Structure 1
Amino acid sequence: MSCPRKRRSSTRRSGRGCSSSPWREMTASPGNPPPLVIRQPGRGYRFSIDSVLLAGFAAPFCRGKVLDLGTGCGVLLLLLSHLSPGMVSGTGVELQEDLLAYARENFRGSGFAGRLIAVKGDFRGDVPGVAPGAFDFAVSNPPYGRAGRGRRNPDPGKEKARHEVTCTLPELFAAAARSLSTAGRFAFILPYPRLPEIEPCAVKEGLRVEFLRVVHPRAGDPPSRLLCCAVRGGSGAPCELPPLYLHGGAGKYAPEVEQVCRLFRGSQRDRR
């Protein structure tokens, strides 16, 4: 299947300054793991290319016990299970009952049923099975629209997935920091214009922005998304990784994006 569809700080490192980053270990093909089949709603929320971009970015950092904040149908944990040999287990937290059911079904049918679980809960508070400091890595593809901004979506599922109806960015950072062990990492994706909000949210929760990667639709286009990895504790300036151009020639996805897309055999949409 085909995939689902600021100004630079003077203290930010880039290029050779990032040569020791774990991200650079992600250079080879993931091999030939069993392809994924993702079931998701026929209407309302459906996962997008952002999940694919985040999984490819996060995979080299991912290790140990992994927490997905707002797991949806579980696609991020499934992709990371394929891409990250260091991942031991994954827990997805989801507030919406219908998406939770899809995540559980996808986990059961994936071959990773013993490693992946989905739990219902609001990660802004206490969630069964999500103890403070219990996770080595957290990941999230959060709602990208600020609360109270833009047009409201008439579909409740899409509204919650795309706009900060049930969770704001500061609340997301607080939940991630609370869940992480010492030196644990948190990877996420946001629209590029939200870059100025990231560092204040991170600093408040004891997180340090460690790696940034800007996504452009095509070479020459302005940036559209920002991939980020923060670490609990430590010091140092953020390291800016080489930019990612989503599309190459002839309208095709860039090779490293297509590499992750090849993990999919298909996605099934319910008719209901």
Structure 2
Amino acid sequence: MDTDAAPFADMPADLRAELTDDVFLDGRLRLLQPARGHRAGHDALLLAASAPGDARIAVDLGAGVGTAGLALAVRVPEVALTLVELDPATAALARCNAARQAPDLAGRVGVVEADVAALGRPAGPPLPAAGAADLVLMNPPFNDPTRHRASPHERRALAHSVPDAGMEMWLKAAARLLAPAGRLALIHRPEAIEALLAGMKGRFGAVTIRPVHPRPDAPAIRLLIGAIKGRRTPPAFLPPLVLAGDDGRPSLNAERLLRDAGGL
């Protein structure tokens, strides 16, 4: 694949040579991504589908190659989006992926290289602007290294591993970037719920929790969580999302979200 264009200037040559060009949302979204390591999947698409459809200024923290944020931009044609990514090579891919979408979408997307920990500090980086977003998306690293073996692939480990206690820095960053009454949408594993709720205390309320089940008879494998900055309303559980029936075929809801760019 020819990847000599300017967006790839910071990308190692071995990574440029090992990219795949993949289609999502039934062709509405095309993404270049590494053939090995962390790759886009259902989690990012479900996160985008769970976000409110009336957002106008959105930030995708830990955006990777841009999957969740760009999927949101496909579904919400008015949203202005900033993709935030720490790794320069991955950020370069996110820039390229934004640029190769339809012009009306590409013009609404920017990419910022920034550390989530720095963004959570009162005197954090100037971009994305503090207090400006009405929506923050987060698909944070899932694997607490005390419970899961880290991947030997460096970029995959960076994208997947953070202690549950480290979730507070992500929530601090989201709270700093959001305007009053701004909304947070995130996806995580069920075992992190205690750390997530603890990190939201004093920052977010009106928390909604939607379990995601692979089949009707299987335990939840993900939680889709929403919250509002500054609210004190108690948490609420929403009806579950079931991805497939007993026969293994995708459910109608899953098809609507993962293929048709629908929203929850």
Q: Same fold (TM over 0.5)?
A: yes
Q: Which residue number in structure 1 is paired with residue 41 of structure 2?
A: 48
Q: Which residue number in structure 1 is paired with residue 208 of structure 2?
A: 211
Q: Which residue number in structure 2 is paired with residue 171 of structure 1?
A: 169
In 2: Cα distance, 1:2 partner to 1:43 partner: 13
Answer with 188-197 or 122-131: which moved more.
Answer: 122-131
The 3 A distance-change label for structure 1 pair 225 and 2 is farther
Q: Which residue number in structure 2 is paired with residue 21 of structure 1?
A: none
Give the deviation of 1:118 after TM superposition.
0.9
SS at match of 1:127: coil
Note the 1:218-229 alignment, pairs <5 A: 218-229=215-226
User: Where does structure 2 lack aligned partners over 5 or more consecutive residues?
Assistant: 1-20, 119-123
TM-score by length of 2: 0.81
Q: Which residue number in structure 1 is paired with residue 82 of structure 2?
A: 91
Q: Which residue number in structure 1 is paired with residue 116 of structure 2?
A: 123
Q: Which residue number in structure 1 is paired with residue 56 of structure 2?
A: 64
Give the deviation of 1:226 after TM superposition.
0.7
- Contact kept in structure 2, 1:36 and 1:263, CA below 8 Å: no
Give the deviation of 1:156 after TM superposition.
0.5
- Contact kept in structure 2, 1:215 and 1:246, CA below 8 Å: yes
In 1: Cα distance, 2:100 partner to 2:190 partner: 35
In 2: Cα distance, 1:64 partner to 1:116 partner: 12
In 2: Cα distance, 1:214 partner to 1:50 partner: 13
The match for 2:68 among 40, 55, 76 is 76
Give the deviation of 1:239 after TM superposition.
2.4
- Contact kept in structure 2, 1:120 and 1:127, CA below 8 Å: no
The 3 A distance-change label for structure 1 pair 71 and 95 is same
RMSD over aligned Cα, in angstroms?
A: 2.4
Write the letter of the residue equivalent to 1:145: N
**Percent sequence identity over matched residues?**
33
In 2: Cα distance, 1:161 partner to 1:43 partner: 13
Question: Number of matched residues?
Answer: 233
In 2: Cα distance, 1:59 partner to 1:79 partner: 13
Q: Which residue number in structure 2 is paired with residue 201 of structure 1?
A: 199
- Contact kept in structure 2, 1:199 and 1:209, CA below 8 Å: no
In 1: Cα distance, 2:206 partner to 2:171 partner: 12
Q: Which residue number in structure 2 is paired with residue 151 of structure 1?
A: 149
TM-score by length of 1: 0.79
Give the deviation of 1:160 after TM superposition.
0.8
User: Where does structure 1 lack aligned partners over 5 or more consecutive residues?
Assistant: 5-29, 265-272
Could you report, residue by residue, the CA deviation over 1:207-266 in whole angstroms, capped at 9, with x for unpaired residues?
Answer: 1142110111111111111110011112222222110111125322222222233259xx
RCO (CA 8 Å, sep 6+): is it higher in 1 or 2?
1
Write the letter of the residue equivalent to 2:34: P
Give the deviation of 1:84 after TM superposition.
2.4
